[in-house]
Amino acid sequence: MAGGGYARLPDSSVVVALALPGPPGGGAEPGARVRVLVRAANRARALTRLRNLGLRAVYLRGNTEPPTPDEITAVLHHPEGIVWRSMPDDDTESWHPIATLLRRAG
């Protein structure tokens, strides 16, 4: 999927960032894209975490848009390690727990 990437952290874990279409009726604007950040032991586990939440068609091809230092800080400080916000990045918008995106979509 275009618009994604990853960054390896000093503890050997990774933060994966993906640009995904916002689900209809989800927490994002209709038709908008969302930026999702996931922290995991490796890239495969990060994608598995998203697939286990029902986001089946997520793939990371390349490293065209790796997470920024601010994005890495946001996901590191979240207890679940998965956050999202609408794109394009609005610095005034907070990062949201992934459950808020999925709950509104269902």
Look at residue 84 and give its three-state secondary structure.
strand
Parallel, antiparallel or unpaired: strands 96-97 and 14-21? unpaired
pTM, two decimals, is 0.84
Mean pLDDT across 39-46: 95
Q: What rounded mean pLDDT belongs to the chain? A: 84
> What is the count of structural domains for the chain?
1
Strands of the sheet with 82-86, listed across from one edge:
5-8, 14-21, 33-40, 82-86, 96-97
The lowest-confidence range among 10-19, 21-30, 91-100 is 21-30
Residue 55: per-residue pLDDT: 82
Residue 29: per-residue pLDDT: 60
Domain that holds residue 26: 5-105
